[in-house]
Structure formats: C-alpha cells, structure tokens
Chains A and B, each alone.
Chain A
Amino acid sequence: MTTVPYNPAAFSPAIGTGSFSPAPYNANPSPQGGSGIFGSVPGAVQMPQPFQSLGSVYPNLPQTNTAMSGDILSNLTGQVSPATQTAIYDAGAKFGINEPINLSPLSLGETDTSLENMGLKEFSGALPIVSQTQTVSPQVQAQVAQYNAEMAAAPNPNEAGIAGLAMGALGLIAAL
C-alpha cells in the first residue's frame, strides 16, 4: 500500500521561524487523470501533528509547556515553585540580604493547602487547553485509524477488475 506522506512542513512554516509561503491558496484544484483503468487503493493517512503545527508559529512552545507544567506541579504539591525560589534568591543577592531565606508557602501569604487548591484550578484550566490545541482528539485518531484500516484491507483493484472482466466474458460466452 502506498503511504501518503504527511508533511506539515510542506504546508506550514518551519518550527519557530514564523515564515510562510506567499503562494495563494488554490481553491480550484485541477482535475487529475486517474490511476489506470482499475485505480489503486488510497494511501494511508498519517496522524496530524498539532503540536508541531502550533510550534511552527508559536516560538518556544516546548519550553513554555515545561515552565507552566512545573509551576502548576509545584502548586499541586503545595510548594513554592522553583521559579519563585530562584526569584527570591536572585533578589536576595541583588539586595545583599544575608539572612536565612524562608521558602515556606506561609512566607508568601499562602498555605500549602491554598497552593494545592490554586494548583488544582490551574491544572483544570490548562489541561483542556493543551489537550485541544496540541494533541489529536481521540475521535480524529479513530477516524484516521478506521480509514487506514479500511484502505489496508481493500482488495487489489487490478485483481478485482480482472476478475470482473472475466465474469463479464463468461457471461458473454454463455449468452452466445
């Protein structure tokens, strides 16, 4: 079976460059001649890659996801995030503060429970966004898989066509 190459780069700018093809969209594709007398089995369709597509127009997507995931995880575990800890240490160095640094949630006016609750809210808000924008929905996955399964199981058009011709010839002979 012929595999239809799915190449998002052919249709999207390179990752992080934000460049684009100036070619206008062809809304009137020209007809094709067809694939022989019996045709062939349609090629398999590759799974879309929305993460790569979004990353091609939104720079630093993986790093951004990592940063957000880290922030949320810290809150979920009721801890001050490493990013905040870094900010505190940096500020301490900048202002020449030599006192022991308190990194407990209470120092931020929070409790571990309030941080956890905040983390749950953030987690609930972020997950659907990331899921819907950067992963393929199960429905589309199933649709592509079903299509590919049907194409993979299709009969050989040439053999089927020849068999049909043979049946026609037999019918003609029988009639004569």
Chain B
Amino acid sequence: MATNYNPNAFGTNPTLPSFAPNAGYNANPSPQGGSGLFGAVPGAVQMPNPFSDLSKVYPNLAASNTAASGDVMSNLSGILSPDVLNQIQTAGAQNAFSQGLSGSGFAGNELLDAVGQASQQEQSTGEGQYNTVIPQITQSQTVAPSTEAEIAESNAISAAAPNPTLSGLANIFGDLAGFGSGGGFGGLSGLFGGGGTSGGAFGTAGVVSPDNWSSDILNTSTIDANTDMSSFDFSVD
C-alpha cells in the first residue's frame, strides 16, 4: 500500500535566522571632506595586539597557553607520570598472569625497557605537539615580523614628514618664483615633499646615480607623498 509523503508528519523545517557574520562591517565608507588646504601628515599606526583581541573572545587564553606549554614541556622531558608508571607495572603483571607466570610481572629490565619506550614515545608526542601548537599561537597571538616592520617604516616616514602647511606655502612661493623666472628651474613645486617621504628635493633614496638624479628628480615638477619613487632610476653607475 502506497503511503503519500506528508512532510508534516515529520514536523516542519525550522526557520533559520538570517545569518550574516560580516553584516556589521561597513564596506562602503563615506568620502571625507579632507584635512584643510594642504592636508595633514598621516597619523602613526598602532601596533595590533592579536593576543589581546583573541583574549576578549576566548576566555582564559593566557592560562590555556601556560597549560599547553606545560603539557608540551612535560612530554618533551619524557618524564613519565606516576599514573603511567603504575600502568606499565600493572600491564607487566597482567601480562605475566596471562602467561601463567608467577611473580610480580615484568622482570626488572623488561619493566625499564617499557618505561624507556614510553618515555621515548612521550618525547615524540611532545615534538609533534610543539610543531602544531607553536605555529598556531604565533599566527593567532603575535604580529608577523613583516607587519611590524611595515608599520614601523610607515610610522617613521610619517613622523619625519614636513609640515604640509608650511611646505605647501613654500611650494606656492617656489611655483611663483619659477613662473617669474620663466620656468627656468622648473619651479620648486614639491621640493619639500608632501607628507610622505621627506628629504626634500633630493629624495630619500640611499643611492642616487649622479648622472640620473637631476634628470629624473629635479625635472619632475612634483615629488610628494604620492610620487612613485620606483619610477626613478636610482641605479649605481
């Protein structure tokens, strides 16, 4: 006898709430009005603290790290706990019993061999745990060295940037002078940088080819924070 399928016989499907884990993130930031006529120097970027961030959503993180470290260290040390030693001794006794032997179990050296094997196994376990735990903690709780260096470089550059207002006014003066001189010197626009790399007219490159810098840099009317310095030829002759 055929039975018609009746979904209600099994209950209705639960209604799942709409779930958009990243819905709170504003992916469309509004444009800003800008920071005055000449702009400002970008602020220093703070170093992230992933350990702190993770701690806010994962309770007892520090205590867990300590416990994990203790467990790994204990295994690496290969020292067997009293429980394990008793287990080995008991296993020896059971083995002897099953074989119909009298006595307390393993012979002395057999027992110690078993202890040695267990110790060796614990060390191998510890090495495996180390190889798993250390990368996980590093990636989840510390800042990558490359990111640290990037932030430090960015902050150093921003901290050394000229005052945009002062340099902007000077650039206006320079442009006027260049205009007055018929542009013979190509103006002074950008000579003093503009919030990014400082070092003024001669840039911040470590090695500038004497044959190239005048043509590459001085003839460029504007060198500021947005200038792609990689476009210049800094090769050593």
> Which residues in A have some Cβ–Cβ distance to B below 8 Å?
2, 4, 6, 8, 10-13, 17-22, 25-26, 28-48, 50, 53-54, 56-61, 63-64, 67-68, 71-72, 80-81, 83-84, 86-88, 90-92, 94-95, 97-99, 101-103, 107-110, 118, 122, 125-126, 129-130, 132-134, 136-137, 139-140, 143-144, 146-147, 149-155, 157, 160-161, 163-165, 167-172, 174-176
Do A35 and B127 touch across chains, with their CB atoms under 8 A apart? no
Chain B residue, CB-CB nearest to A97: B108
Do B202 and A88 touch across chains, with their CB atoms under 8 A apart? no
Do B138 and A54 touch across chains, with their CB atoms under 8 A apart? yes
Asked whether A97 and B112 contact (CB < 8 A) given A39-B167, A122-B127, A132-B135, the answer is yes
Do A91 and B198 touch across chains, with their CB atoms under 8 A apart? no
Do A160 and B85 touch across chains, with their CB atoms under 8 A apart? no
The contact sample of 14 A-B pairs, CB cut-off 8 A, is A18-B63, A20-B62, A21-B52, A25-B49, A31-B35, A43-B160, A91-B85, A102-B112, A132-B135, A154-B203, A160-B191, A164-B174, A165-B188, A167-B185
From B49, B116, B119, residue with most partner A Cβ within 10 Å: B116
Question: Separation in Å of the A160 CB from the closest CB of chain B?
Answer: 4
Asked whether A45 and B120 contact (CB < 8 A) given A38-B162, A68-B127, A137-B146, the answer is no
Asked whether A81 and B120 contact (CB < 8 A) given A71-B76, A164-B201, A175-B182, the answer is yes
Do B180 and A29 touch across chains, with their CB atoms under 8 A apart? no
Other A-B contacts than A42-B197, A54-B138, 10 sampled, CB-CB below 8 A, are: A20-B62, A38-B162, A40-B160, A83-B79, A84-B123, A95-B108, A137-B145, A143-B146, A163-B201, A168-B187
Q: Top 6 A-B pairs ranked by shortest CB distance?
A: A18-B62, A29-B43, A39-B198, A39-B162, A171-B181, A34-B163
Indicate if B96 sits at the interface (CB-CB under 8 A).
no
In angstroms, Cα B192 to Cα A139, docked, is 31
Do A57 and B116 touch across chains, with their CB atoms under 8 A apart? no
* Residues 182-218 of chain B, each 1 if its beta carbon lies under 8 Å from chain A, else 0: 1011011001110101111111111100000000000
Do A174 and B181 touch across chains, with their CB atoms under 8 A apart? yes
> Which residues in B have some Cβ–Cβ distance to A below 8 Å?
35, 40-49, 51-53, 55, 61-63, 65-66, 68-70, 72-73, 76-80, 85, 88-89, 108-109, 111-113, 115-120, 123-124, 126-127, 130-131, 134-135, 137-138, 141-143, 145-146, 148-149, 152-153, 155-167, 170, 173-174, 177-178, 180-182, 184-185, 187-188, 191-193, 195, 197-207
Do B41 and A83 touch across chains, with their CB atoms under 8 A apart? no
Question: Separation in Å of the B178 CB from the closest CB of chain A?
Answer: 6
Asked whether A126 and B142 contact (CB < 8 A) given A41-B199, A54-B134, the answer is no
Do A107 and B116 touch across chains, with their CB atoms under 8 A apart? yes
Do B177 and A54 touch across chains, with their CB atoms under 8 A apart? no
Collect the chain B residues with CB atoms within 8 Å of residue A19's CB.
62
Chain B residue, CB-CB nearest to A158: B200
Collect the chain A residues with CB atoms within 8 Å of residue B156's CB.
4, 42-45, 151
Do B119 and A71 touch across chains, with their CB atoms under 8 A apart? no
Asked whether A91 and B192 contact (CB < 8 A) given A11-B49, A37-B166, the answer is no
Do A175 and B166 touch across chains, with their CB atoms under 8 A apart? no
